Amino acid sequence: MNKKNAAKETLLKEIAKCRSCRFCVDVCPTYQASEGVESMSAYGRLQLIKYLLTGILEFDDSLTYCLYSCLQCRRCEVVCKSKGQDIDICKIIQMGRSLLSQNLVQGNSNEKI
Amino acid sequence: MKRSKTLIAQALSTLKENMERTGDPLGFRHTYWTEWANGLGLPKGGKTVLLTARMYQMLPYVIQTTDMVASIKPLLAIKGFGKVLSMGNRLAGETVIRLKAIGAKKIKARGTKALKGIISALNSVGEYPAYLYEAEPYSGVLLYDLGLEDGIALHINKVYELLKDHGVEEVIAVDPHTTFMMKEIYPKYIKNYDIRVKHYLEVLSEGKENLGNTSHKDLPKEFVMHDSCVMTRDLGIVECPICLINLMKYEAELGVRVWDMGEILHAALVNPSSK
């Protein structure tokens, strides 16, 4: 398994831990700033990464904007931990960005990650 | 949100190219980052160094760069424009950004005061760090934040080698992002990483009883503290006051004067009558 595929597998395993409780949604500053767009929240971004990795979605302007607008402030993780889960949400978004960045820099912006 | 993909792709490519070419995120070949230290007589080398990582000094240039990018955003949708822009940036970007940033004297002066305040406060607690001047490296935190993993390993190794060549054993960083990068990320890329890294407020809090005589007359009567995400959640530093540099850009919008901790230290320790 190459490095890219190993990263994808790790990401999907981590995302699968999410119980979809959505407690992280309300505390996300970009969710608040977007006045309630769930794709602009921590939970929304995890779902986007999952669907990008499984090939259901391809990245476009909106998805790129959602992933790169995360402030990495970790407010979502504080809530996640307090609700009994301990998902490293910002690390997942960071790894998602990493996969996306490689494609964007190489000019393969229409490929799936 | 429109054209985000093109804009981000262009920004990432330019950043990566700048870093590879010059080691600087803005692609500046020459250094504009050392003027703040004029007259301070800081030693050029030593076991403990202050690492500004250009964060305060870059502020006027970053503001100009983001303004310029915002003004040409519609053009980025045109196929091929990104390549032309990249070439233009290589040839004239530095000159244009530098000329435009000359107007941002006020924000530059505040960055200088903040850095001088930090040095003065460190001296008060018995810490006299060296400064590497033109040799001072950029931490590479933007590469990490934006997920440019390919470029990060190479950059981190270069920075580490440079610090070792200068005999550096301890780094005192002035901003939370550089502290996080050098404390938490560098060790993941370098085997047996042995450079001690502290934020300057950690150093001050260790010797706060020695801070000496301070003047309160020029300090703001009321101020808002910024809860830095990086300090509290990435670094677990919750007991020191924190850095406000990011909020300085939004003063007009927020309608408040944001005081950086370095500026407060400058007003209290260096030159009480200068604001």
If one compares A103 and B171, the residue with the highest pLDDT of the two is B171
Structural domain count, chain A = 1
Instruction: Show residues of chain A in contact with B3, CB under 8 Å.
Output: 61
Position A7 scores a pLDDT of 83
Residue A71 lies in a domain: yes
Q: What is the average pLDDT across B139-165?
A: 89
Chain A residues with CB under 8 Å of B13 CB are 104-105
User: How many helices and strands, by DSSP H and E, does chain A display?
Assistant: 7, 0
The domain that contains A38 carries what CATH number? 1.10.1060
Backbone angles phi, psi at B171, to 5 degrees: -115, 130
Is A87 part of any domain?
A: yes
> What's the mean pLDDT in B30-38?
81
Residue B235's pLDDT band (cuts 50, 70, 90): confident
Interchain contact, B229 vs A75, CB within 8 Å: yes
Angle ∠(B80,B85,B86) on CA atoms, nearest 5: 100
Question: What is the pLDDT at residue B115?
Answer: 92
pLDDT for the residue numbered B205: 82
Q: B49: closest CA among B1, B119, B108, B105?
A: B119
Chain A nearest C-alpha distance from B129 (Å):
30
CB–CB of B229 and A107 under 8 A?
A: no
Cβ A104–B8 below 8 Å, yes or no? yes
How much is the pLDDT for A81? 87
Query: Measuring CA to CA, which residue among B85, B111, B108, B110 is closest to residue B98?
Result: B108
Distance CA A110, CA B6 (A): 11
pLDDT in tens, A54-92: 889 887 888 888 998 998 888 899 899 888 888 999 999
Residue with tokens 């004239």: B92
- Judge whether A112 lies within some domain: no
Q: Which of B62, B63, B60, B57 is nearest to B36 (CA)?
A: B57
Q: Do A59 and B5 touch (CB under 8 A)?
A: yes
Instruction: Give me the pLDDT at residue B159, please.
Output: 94
The answer to whether position A113 is within a domain reads no
- State the distance between the two ends of chain A, measured CA to CA, in whole angstroms: 16
Q: How far apart are CA B79 and CA B86, in angstroms?
A: 13
Q: Give me the residue spans of the domains in chain B.
A: 4-270
Question: If you average pLDDT over residues A88-107, what whole number do you get?
Answer: 84
**What are the chain A neighbours of B233 within 8 Å (beta carbons)?**
73-74, 77-78
A18 within a domain of the structure (yes/no):
yes
Residues of A in contact with B4 (CB under 8 A): 61-62, 64-65, 68
Q: What is the mean pLDDT of residues B115-125?
A: 90
Q: How confident is the model at residue B84 (pLDDT cuts 50, 70, 90)?
A: very low
| CB-based contact A74 B3, cutoff 8 Å | no
- CA torsion sign for A94, A99, A102, A104 is negative
Distance CA A42, CA A47 (A): 9
Write down the pLDDT at residue B64. 66
The minimum CA-CA distance between B2 and chain A, rounded to whole Å, is: 6
Domain carrying residue A67: 3-105
The residue in chain B having the minimum alpha-carbon distance to the alpha carbon of residue A59 is B5
Listed in order, strand segments (DSSP E) in B24-118 are: 48-51
Q: Which residues contact B252 (CB under 8 A, 6 or more apart)?
A: none
Phi, psi of B197 (to 5 degrees): -125, 130
Q: Can you tell me the distance from the alpha carbon of B71 to that of B65, in angstroms, rounded to the nearest whole number?
A: 10
Confidence of residue B264 (pLDDT cuts 50, 70, 90): confident
Domain annotation covers residue A96: yes
Whether the predicted pLDDT of B201 surpasses 50 = yes
Q: Do the Cβ atoms of A98 and B147 come within 8 Å?
A: yes
Task: Characterize A27-51 residue by residue with b for buried, 16 or more Cβ atoms within 10 angstroms of its Cβ, and e for exposed.
Answer: bbebbeebeeebbbbbbbbbbbbbe
Output the six-digit token pair for A89: 């949400």
B45 CB-near residues (< 8 Å, 6+ apart): B130, B132, B166, B167
Contact assignment for B4 to A104 by CB distance below 8 Å: no
For position A20, what pLDDT does the model report?
Answer: 92
String of DSSP letters for B129-179: -B--GGGPPP--HHHHHTT-HHHHHHHHHHHHHHHHHTT--EEEESSHHHH
What are the structure tokens assigned to B115, written together? 């850095």
Distance CA B226, CA B88 (A): 38
Q: What is the ipTM of this complex?
A: 0.74
User: What residues of chain A have any CB closer than 8 angstroms to a CB in chain B?
Assistant: 59-62, 64-65, 68, 71-75, 77-78, 94-102, 104-105, 107, 109
Question: In this model, does residue B6 exceed pLDDT 90?
Answer: no
Question: A12-25, pLDDT tens digit by residue?
Answer: 999 999 999 999 99
The reply to whether residue A97 touches residue B146, judged by beta carbons under 8 angstroms, is: yes
Q: What tokens were used for A78?
A: 């504080």
Q: What is the pLDDT of residues A34-49, one digit of tens each?
A: 989 999 999 999 999 9
Contact check, Cβ <8 Å, A74/B150? no
Closest CA to B4 of A63, A76, A78, A19: A63
State residue B88's pLDDT score: 46
In a domain, A111, yes or no: no
User: For residue B51, what are the β-bridge partners?
Assistant: B173
Distance between CA atoms of A31 and B37, rounded to whole angstroms? 41
